[in-house]
Structure 1
Amino acid sequence: MHQDDMIKRIRAEHPEATIDIAGEDCNFEVHIVSENFAGQSLLQRQKGILALFKDELGSGALHALTIKAKTPQEKAAESS
């Protein structure tokens, strides 16, 4: 899977998000900062992103996807 395709799919659900992706072939790490994560647990955030790639994960086209999902406030607190 190509990183640009992944970004487009995530952006469809989180249009205002800051998205950084590292990796290649079928192993990726995704960092997403979105206001949409407010009020969601870490598990809810990860499940929501994983659902966007359900078919690719099921077929093996995408083997590993590590997700770091934060709100802008969490990201700012991390930098302090």
Structure 2
Amino acid sequence: MHQDDIVTRVRTQYPDATIDIAGADCNFEIHILSDGFAGQSLLQRQKGILALFKDELQSGAMHALTIKAKTPAEKAAESS
């Protein structure tokens, strides 16, 4: 899977997202900032993103996906 494919898929659910991605082949780390995460627990955020890649994870086309999902306000609070 290519990084562009991952970004495109995440944007289908979180169109306002700022996305930073690292990795290649079948192991990726993705940092997502979106107001769409407001009111969601960490587990809900993880499950929502992982669901977008369910088939790839089950087939082994993607082995690992590390997800850091925050709202812009949460990110700003970390910086101060």
Structure 1 partner of 2:3 = 3
Percent of pairs identical after alignment? Answer: 80
Between Structure 1 and Structure 2, how many residues are aligned? 80
Whole-angstrom distance in 1 between the partners of 2:34 and 2:71:
5
TM-superposed deviation, 1:79: 1.3
CA-to-aligned-CA distance 1:1-28 (integer Å, 9 cap, x gap) = 0000000000011000000000011000
TM-superposed deviation, 1:57: 0.2
Whole-angstrom distance in 1 between the partners of 2:43 and 2:61:
23
Structure 2 partner of 1:67 = 67
Report the TM-score when normalising by structure 1. Answer: 0.98
Where does structure 1 differ by over 6 angstroms across 4 or more consecutive aligned residues?
A: none
Letter of the 2:41 counterpart: S
Whole-angstrom distance in 1 between the partners of 2:57 and 2:79:
32
TM-align CA RMSD? 0.4
Whole-angstrom distance in 2 between the partners of 1:68 and 1:60:
21
Whole-angstrom distance in 2 between the partners of 1:40 and 1:29:
20
TM-superposed deviation, 1:63: 0.1
Whole-angstrom distance in 2 between the partners of 1:17 and 1:47:
17
Q: Report the secondary structure of 1:45's partner residue.
A: helix
Q: Structure 1: any 5+ residue segments left out of the alignment?
A: none
